[in-house]
Structure 1
Amino acid sequence: MAEPAPSTLQASRSPFLQHGFRQPVHWLRWGEDAFERARRENRPILLDIGAVWCHWCHVMDHESYENPDTARLINELFVPVKVDRDERPDVDARYQRAVQALSGQGGWPLTAFLTPEGEAFYGGTYFPPDDRFGRPSFPRVLREVARVWREEQARAREAAQSIRARLTAHEDAEAQRGKISRRLVEDAIEELAQSFDFRHGGFGRAPKFPNAGALALLLDRWLDTGTDWARRIVAETLDAMGSGGLHDQLGGGFHRYATDARWLVPHFEKMAYDNGVLLEIYARAYAALRDPHYREVGGGVVDYYRDVSPALLDAGAFPASQDADIGPHDDGDYWTWTLEEIAAALEGDERGTRAAVLRYGLDDPASSMHLDPSRHVLYLALDAREVGLRLDIEEAEAARLLADVRRRLKAARDRRPRPFVDETLYSGWIGLVAAGHLAAARYLGRDDAGAAALRALDRLMTEAFDPALGLAHRVGDAAAGHYLEDQTHVAQALLDAYELTQEPKWLERARALTRVLLERFAEPGGAFTDRPAGEASPVGSLAEPHRPIVDAPAPSGNAVAALVLLRLAALTHERRTHERALEALDRFAGSAPQLATAAATYVRAVDWATAPVSTVVIVGDDADPAARALFQTALRTYRPRTVLRRFRPGEVATRELPPELVAMASAQGPRAYLCVGQTCAAPVSEAGALEELLRQFHA
């Protein structure tokens, strides 16, 4: 590779941008300096948006941006700007939409060509170094775009204006005002059912991405109504994802998406946001369905974080991502196996090797990698009973054998060079992983997960929170910007922490964060924007407001904001907080029919707002074993749209209670109270009676 050329990336804390500094392209960071230079020199901007975990970003870096001839072409014809999508989600969101409108494609690497004012007039994703895959070579694209700008600049600017108008119309179309209703929820659930893949689980066709929001919505539907098809969709999807190659069968945790309909062959990067929300849904599903596989899968996510960054975990944080591969020519080699590698790892143990082949589908061509069919993704093809039948041994012996095989394969994989782990501390993603860990503590009994989550949340609110500005996007870097998703995801986790611990500090911190949310991110019309209107000088497309409602890729900021407000109102009985949530939901109600499957978290928030909310109150002394048993039962039993509070007997007259409970609640304990909407059940004093009440009582 050529020697490093002049670049402004050297001061960046982003691993992706630091790698770009070593390239011969004269990269600039996103900012006014780059746009001022483009205007001064009347050059178009080449915008490269990627991430450290992105395989095709590494490929394009190696093939094009590290190529001296291509770099020379870029430096002569363009003002090159490199952006880390994890570091700048606001930039990525806007230009993803622009390139999708231009080319019908989105994803990473995102390659966009902008006017000096920041308007996109041409773009795509990955461009090869020569004509292949039905795509033009990148040098040919560079020359043609430069020619158009030089000879037909008016046409390029006209195209940019047209795209901007389309994007404005699209943004408005996603935020059509209306009134929320139960009909909106019913229609969305019906649409999800119609898109369900009855053969392989999940929704739609390949490539398949996890949709935790949709599964959470359907799990709640089953618990509310007993609708068996909703349970089937949830169970079959969780089974398929947990058994497939999407799930790391040796190390735990989930890869980003599957390239096939069966969830077998993934893109191998592991993302904090995916693992946080998937841990939460597996924990809830275990509480509701009691399938031990869900407990195993969820516990595996917790173990993955303990294993991949133990020092970071102890310091109160979770990593942002783990890379898919070691280098640009790597096709998931760390994660995949040949039959010879399996035999070597098991040291010639023929029965163990045969068990591994049966268990992990190593004789299934569908699990082969595309570039090297001899390499296989491990998935759960057979259970212990079936393996035992094939090997003519008892199921218990087969289970012991498979556990030993898994341990030995994991140890062998641990000796391989490990894909890069990005330990950048992004507040919102830490919030999502913390929420998942709190769910694991609550429903899976993983106290270690709860302790890790509380450490992380405490660190966030100590090191990244400013009462006037909110949470910084990156811990320890107040200049990193403040984004909606950071405030909402962490506020949600703070409410989870409060319910788990009943410590007032977590509720007060959630209130403080919600105040910032309303003061800095709220529009007069009810919606929330992804970045504060007054923060920094908006350059390029950042001048345009963006109101995220689609779950792409993490749960949408507006939907989670509404959920936070609804939960906070249920806990504190603040009428204005509840009204503010309804205003936010109404802001998108007219668009909801077109967004259902892509905006499942929004539909969940509408469900919270339009169906009765349950309040569980436990009254009893901390030292009373019966009171502790009641509280643990309330924690471990998952019930939709429920908030949980615990009071000592002397606090009943002084603490916030639902109006329906004020006359009923007694200072005598231990007692458990359940109100659904305005209807309250008779109090109970035994854990078994409370569990039955929580599972069966409806208004």
Structure 2
Amino acid sequence: MRLRLAVFISLMMFALTGWASPAPGALHWKAWSDGAFAQARAEHKFVLLDLEAVWCHWCHVMDDVTYRDPVVVQLLNRRYVLVKVDQDSRPDISNRYQDYGWPATVVFAADGSEIVKRQGYLPPKLMSSMLQAIIDDPSPGPSVEKEGVFRPASDSVIKPALLARIEVQYEKQYDKPVGGWGFVHKYLDEESVEYAIRQGARGNAEYAKRAADTLHDATNLLDPVWGGMYQYSVGRHWTEPHFEKLISIQADALREYSLAYAQTQNAEDLNAAQSVHRYVTNFLTAPSAGVFFVSQDADLHDGQENETYFKLSDEGRRAQGIPRVDTHVYARENGWMIDALCDYYAASGDASALEQARRAAGWIVVHRSLPGGGFRHDDVDPAGPYLGDTLAMGQAFLALYNVTGDREDLKAATAAAQYIAAHFAPASAGGGFVTAQKATDAAYRPHPDRDENVALVRFASALALASGEERFHATAAEAMRYVAAESVALRPLSAGVLLANEDMTESPIHVTVVGAASNADVVALHTAALRSITSRELIEIRDPADPAPLTTSVTYPPLKRAALFLCTAQACSSPIFRGEEVRAKIQRAQLQTQR
């Protein structure tokens, strides 16, 4: 799942009470396992989970202040089994507690039932008070709510009345005075921007302006020295960034600026995309393997303020050192970046981006593949496989196919979708595809994640068209019954649900170049289609001499020269022979898809 930045609302504003002196005793952290709960039962203790991110400034402050405080250390060592998890390494636990931001602090009884869930940085006095209160009275607090009965939607299409409510929510989620979607932190929410871009292309001038304004405002989060996008800005304005750089943030930004540039040819959007691409290439790419790392830390020195550092020049920064890069290589994160690189290559024509995408995909296939088309998260997964890795790589291969026409990429995307259907399908109809097969612990069964099911609807719908195989519509429909459930669909932010519903119910633009792939005119028409890429279309080359063509519902007339055809749900265009005509034709086709 791509981490939605809206969940990073935290208790950061608690005043620090000063740096504590080293505590008389050490804390002994364990990895997450059933063994931690077994130890808690044997020793009559509680289990405390510190769910952190290695790039997170306030996680470092927790380690250096709260978890060194003598009172906190004494209470923890006396009555708690301590578990520390890097949320990037465990998508199942991350998805389970994502609403609590990082760090998240969760306390369990020895039987695995939750007692307290706390959000963000906890200073020593607050932490020690909480720990003692749990010892005195271990009954669940108000942060622990009983899980309600889930009722899936009766259909894979959102009912009109509910759809209208979601659209109203999306409208209200735009911060008109400041720009952007959301009202606490300012960040580039990929799905909200993409939905606005899509509606703008259909003739909604107000949404087109909101997308453009947000993309412009978000350039304040671009590092002017090294490039790349900071995670978010605090204080409901765009000029006070938190300086961590996650690969997920880079992928989101690269894709949205690329899509915007393809639509409007705004040079600022291209410059922003190039900034992100340069940063990822120079800082988050493994030189020898070509795969992508997870993140770069916000702090040069853990827990210390870093605004002054990031105001320095390249020379000044390097003289002090470079913030730590998390060099784990996860299939999910690489899939996200491969997908974004394909859009950047399509929009910009930068061939190096396509080469990077191919190289990373090749490495992941060799080092992260599972039998049957799936993918591991890391070298070894303690509780995987996870849906997010196979889903992201499936999307990556479909994106590669869309820009290259390589049937091997389509084959890999198809295998990924088959693996998902075989391993992550819900136990009951409409229950949502689950994040992991295995339960995180004995007290918690596998759950679906909304973002992952939104992405699966969109992936499977696109794959059904590209492959001509109707079975993938069934996968999309099953995931959509979960997404369309009122309790799921009305959660903020709303754009992902709206995009999934459109992708499920509306045919995308189908761009077909007819002719031999080696023909120069075919290449020119295909290139013109790529430069005008939208947020949803299928671009393919069909050679009349192909002995095994993919299934299609469209019959193309025999012609003596290369031609491009645009098809929507309503009609197909007459043949287009000149590349310079393609952009205007695609823009007209987008207008025809307006509801």
Q: How does 1:563-578 map to 2 (within 5 A)?
A: 563-578=458-473
Does residue 1:336 correspond to 2:310, yes or no? yes
Q: How does 1:595-606 map to 2 (within 5 A)?
A: 595=490, 597-606=492-501
Listed one character per residue, the Cα deviations across residues 512-547 of structure 1 (whole Å, up to 9, x for unaligned) are 1111100000114144433343x3x65155x32321
Does residue 1:274 correspond to 2:178, yes or no? no
Q: Match of 1:690?
A: 582
After TM superposition, give the deviation of residue 276 of structure 1 in Å. 0.5
Question: Secondary structure at the residue paired with 1:80?
Answer: strand
Structure 2: how far apart are the matches of 1:118 and 1:96? 18
After TM superposition, give the deviation of residue 568 of structure 1 in Å. 0.7
Does residue 1:207 correspond to 2:185, yes or no? yes
| Distance 1:195-1:678 versus aligned 2 partners, 3 A rule | closer
Structure 2: how far apart are the matches of 1:457 and 1:670? 31
CA contact (8 A) 2:510 2:538 kept: yes
Counterpart residue identity of residue 230, structure 1: Y
Listed one character per residue, the Cα deviations across residues 427-486 of structure 1 (whole Å, up to 9, x for unaligned) are 111111111111111102221111111111111122111124721111x32546211111
Q: Match of 1:636?
A: 531
Match of 2:390 among 456, 471, 487: 487
Q: How does 1:51-450 map to 2 (within 5 A)?
A: 51-67=53-69, 70-96=72-98, 106-126=100-120, 128-131=122-125, 136=126, 138-149=127-138, 156=139, 159=140, 166-169=145-148, 172=150, 175-181=152-158, 183=160, 187-224=165-202, 226-242=203-219, 244=220, 246-310=221-285, 312-333=286-307, 335-337=309-311, 409-450=313-354
Structure 2: how far apart are the matches of 1:316 and 1:610? 38
CA contact (8 A) 1:334 1:416 kept: no
Does residue 1:539 correspond to 2:518, yes or no? no
CA contact (8 A) 1:617 1:646 kept: yes
After TM superposition, give the deviation of residue 191 of structure 1 in Å. 2.7
| Distance 1:186-1:675 versus aligned 2 partners, 3 A rule | farther
CA contact (8 A) 1:314 1:452 kept: no
Structure 1: how far apart are the matches of 2:76 and 2:315? 45
Structure 2: how far apart are the matches of 1:91 and 1:626? 51
| Distance 1:597-1:49 versus aligned 2 partners, 3 A rule | closer
Structure 1: how far apart are the matches of 2:476 and 2:122? 47
Q: Match of 1:359?
A: none
After TM superposition, give the deviation of residue 288 of structure 1 in Å. 0.6
| Distance 1:633-1:119 versus aligned 2 partners, 3 A rule | same
Match of 2:552 among 644, 658, 677: 658
After TM superposition, give the deviation of residue 641 of structure 1 in Å. 2.9
CA contact (8 A) 1:620 1:649 kept: yes
Structure 2: how far apart are the matches of 1:74 and 1:646? 63
TM-score (norm 2): 0.89
Counterpart residue identity of residue 496, structure 1: A
CA contact (8 A) 2:118 2:143 kept: no
After TM superposition, give the deviation of residue 140 of structure 1 in Å. 3.0
Counterpart residue identity of residue 85, structure 2: V
How many corresponding residue pairs?
Answer: 565
After TM superposition, give the deviation of residue 599 of structure 1 in Å. 4.3
Question: Secondary structure at the residue paired with 1:559?
Answer: helix
Structure 2: how far apart are the matches of 1:115 and 1:593? 29
Q: Match of 1:382?
A: none
Does residue 1:561 correspond to 2:563, yes or no? no
| Distance 1:66-1:529 versus aligned 2 partners, 3 A rule | farther
Question: Where is the helix percentage greater, Structure 1 or Structure 2?
Answer: 1
After TM superposition, give the deviation of residue 314 of structure 1 in Å. 4.5
Structure 2: how far apart are the matches of 1:260 and 1:230? 24
Does residue 1:39 correspond to 2:16, yes or no? no
After TM superposition, give the deviation of residue 177 of structure 1 in Å. 4.5
Counterpart residue identity of residue 696, structure 1: R
| Distance 1:665-1:463 versus aligned 2 partners, 3 A rule | farther
After TM superposition, give the deviation of residue 313 of structure 1 in Å. 4.7
Question: Secondary structure at the residue paired with 1:510?
Answer: helix
Listed one character per residue, the Cα deviations across residues 547-597 of structure 1 (whole Å, up to 9, x for unaligned) are 111xxxxxx110111111111111122222123312321333132785364
CA contact (8 A) 1:177 1:587 kept: no
Question: Secondary structure at the residue paired with 1:48?
Answer: strand
| Distance 1:615-1:64 versus aligned 2 partners, 3 A rule | same
After TM superposition, give the deviation of residue 71 of structure 1 in Å. 2.8
Question: Secondary structure at the residue paired with 1:583?
Answer: helix
Aligned-CA RMSD value: 2.4
Question: Secondary structure at the residue paired with 2:116?
Answer: strand
| Distance 1:96-1:673 versus aligned 2 partners, 3 A rule | closer
CA contact (8 A) 2:432 2:482 kept: no
Structure 2: how far apart are the matches of 1:592 and 1:428? 27
Q: Match of 1:4?
A: none
Does residue 1:591 correspond to 2:568, yes or no? no
Structure 2: how far apart are the matches of 1:568 and 1:469? 15
Does residue 1:675 correspond to 2:578, yes or no? no
After TM superposition, give the deviation of residue 678 of structure 1 in Å. 5.0
Q: Match of 1:451?
A: 355
Larger Rg: 1
Counterpart residue identity of residue 199, structure 1: P
Question: Secondary structure at the residue paired with 1:415?
Answer: helix
| Distance 1:586-1:480 versus aligned 2 partners, 3 A rule | closer
| Distance 1:588-1:327 versus aligned 2 partners, 3 A rule | same
Identity rate of aligned residues, in percent?
A: 25
Structure 1: how far apart are the matches of 2:400 and 2:308? 36
CA contact (8 A) 1:465 1:472 kept: yes
Structure 2: how far apart are the matches of 1:588 and 1:538? 23
Q: Which runs of 5+ in 2 are unaligned?
A: 1-24
Stretch moving more, 609-618 or 556-565: 609-618
